[in-house]
Every structure is written in structure tokens, then in C-alpha cells.
Amino acid sequence: MGIYLPLQPPLLQNELQDSDYRYREFLPSKGLESHVACYWTVEFNLSDNSKLHRIIPDGCVDIIFDLRASSFSKGAFVAGLMTTFETINLTRNYSLFGIRFFSDKARRFLRYPVSEMIGYRVFLEDLWGKEVEFIMEEVQTANEVSEIIEQVEHLLLKQLFRSESQSDQLLQWSMQYMYASQGMLTVRALAEELSYSERHVRRIFQKELGVGPKELLGIIQFQSLLQELYMDTSSLFTDMAVKYGYYDQPHFIHNFKRFYGLAPKQVFK
């Protein structure tokens, strides 16, 4: 079914990046592309001013490695599903490496339901135990991003081979329909496609992800809109709003601000 390519503000607002602040994304190998949306890095060197780093909901779950962490055991953590934007004021030097998982596939690597991590960050050591210290040492001592990705992919493929598919199959089918429809699907229509009751579908989403299907549909719809605006900046906001199911411009702007924290014209100038 459809391809889902979530975006984050540093790519959308490339003018924010400079010699002191850089965000990059890297595609996974073929063996992991159905599980991992991308790997990403943030590099920030504090000079005269701090920097505002914005994160928006993308329907994904991230493992983040702090490459400058003083403690191996506390240098890696999991950021659960987000339902609203967040801004972080960077006031010190940062060097981060992240793995962005599709939410319905994350449990195979995290070993626990995503619902147990929503709304806050969990140290990876609490999920994986002491092996995190070895992983952190490997990641921190790598000389290039390509070396980090090589180490991480080896770990993830081994984890994938060892783990059983614990994620609910219904959840995975649901997510494929959501991606294919670009989020423009009602929960009732989704339940009919799956031949299950709406109540059962909602229960599975709450149990596995900690958010309802309606909330996730809204995030996928918003991210699909961002992707098209990013690929074709000449498109009119009004045309895009209609295409992606926003019944009028105020509704579109309200939802955009809710997920992004800025008005559309502040992002796509």
C-alpha cells in the first residue's frame, strides 16, 4: 500500500540551518525499510546564541543516542508518540543520533508496547538492560555517521531476527490502510475495511500505541499534506486544504498550528 514519509521542521525550513546547527536524515537498508522511517542526526555548536529546535508529531517512535552523554547508561532513551509539537531551546552543544521507527513496528525492537512510553522519555537501559552500555560505547566511539549506522543496523537486524512479531496484526493492517489513504479515512470506514467493530479497533490502538486511531489519522493526514507542500511549494494553501479534507481555510490553519505551532505561511514562505 502507500508510502509514508514523515517530515520534521529542519528539512521543511532549511533556512534555519547554518554552520552551527545541522539536521540530517539517512535512509535505512532494504532489510529495515519497512520498520525504520530514517536515521537522523542533530549537531549544534553553541556560539553567541541559543537555537530553537522544533519537533512535530509524525506518528513515529524514536530511539535517541546522546553522543556527548557523560554516562553510557543514561545516554540513550526512547521518545514515544507525540500528539502535539514541542520546542527545545538548545543552550549547550548537542550531538544526537536517532532511529525513527514506524509506530506499529517499534514494539519488535523496544520489547514493550509503545503505549507504555507515550508522553515521556524512557531510558533505553530500562528496556534493554546493561547491553545498552556496550551499544553506547560502540556508537560514541564511531568516527563517522556511516559507522554509527552500520553498528545500529547490525543490532537492529539481529534484534529483528531474534524477536517474534509481538505487534498486533490488526494494528499493522490498520496502519497500512491509514498510510494508503493519507489519513483521509474515518474510523468507521477503517473498521469496515478490516471487518472489525469500531470499538475493537479503538481498543487495539489504545492498548498498543496509547492513542486512538482518529488521533493518528489526523497526524498522518497532516504529514501527507506537509510532504506535498514540501515537494511542490508553488501549490496554493487553499487547494491543498481542500485536497486533504480540511473543509475550510480556518479549519486548515487551526490544525496546522496545533501540530506545528506556526501558521502555514511562516513555514512555506
pLDDT in tens, 11-38: 999 888 888 999 999 999 999 999 999 9
Which cell numbers hold the place of 93?
552543544
Q: Are 51 and 88 in contact (CB under 8 A)?
A: no
**Quick check: 9 pLDDT over 80?**
yes
pLDDT band of residue 167 (cuts 50, 70, 90) is low
Residue 49 phi, psi dihedral angles, 5° rounding: -125, 155
pLDDT at position 33: 94
Would you give the DSSP letter of residue 248?
A: S
Query: For residue 172, is pLDDT > 60?
Result: yes
> Does residue 111 have a pLDDT over 90?
no
Q: Is the pLDDT of residue 119 over 70?
A: no
Q: What is the pLDDT of residue 151?
A: 93
What is the pLDDT confidence band of residue 161, given thresholds at 50, 70 and 90?
confident
Give the pLDDT of residue 165: 58
Q: Are strands 36-44 and 21-26 parallel, antiparallel or unpaired?
A: antiparallel
Confidence class for position 269, pLDDT limits 50, 70, 90 = confident
For residue 90, what are the β-bridge partners?
A: 51
Q: Is the pLDDT of residue 2 over 70?
A: no
Three-class secondary structure of residue 4 per DSSP: coil
Residue 236, pLDDT above cutoff 70: yes
pLDDT for 63-77, tens place per residue? 999 999 888 878 999
- In this model, does residue 107 exceed pLDDT 70? yes
Cα–Cα distance between 195 and 177 in angstroms, integer?
13
Q: CA-to-CA distance for 250 and 239, rounded, in angstroms?
A: 13
Q: How far apart are CA 263 and CA 145, in angstroms?
A: 34
CA dihedral of residues 97, 30, 184, 196 (deg, nearest 10): -110
Could you tell me what percent of the chain has a pLDDT over 70?
A: 96
Q: Across the chain, what does the average pLDDT equal?
A: 90
Least confident piece of the model among 113-117, 122-126, 201-205, 245-249: 245-249
What is the predicted pLDDT for the residue at 166? 58
**Domain chopping of the chain, boundaries:** 9-162, 169-267
Q: Which fold has domain 169-267?
A: Arc Repressor Mutant, subunit A (1.10.10)
Task: Calculate what percentage of the chain has a pLDDT beyond 90.
Answer: 65
H runs (alpha helix) in the chain = 9-12, 107-110, 125-128, 131-140, 145-162, 169-180, 187-194, 198-208, 213-231, 237-243, 249-260, 264-267
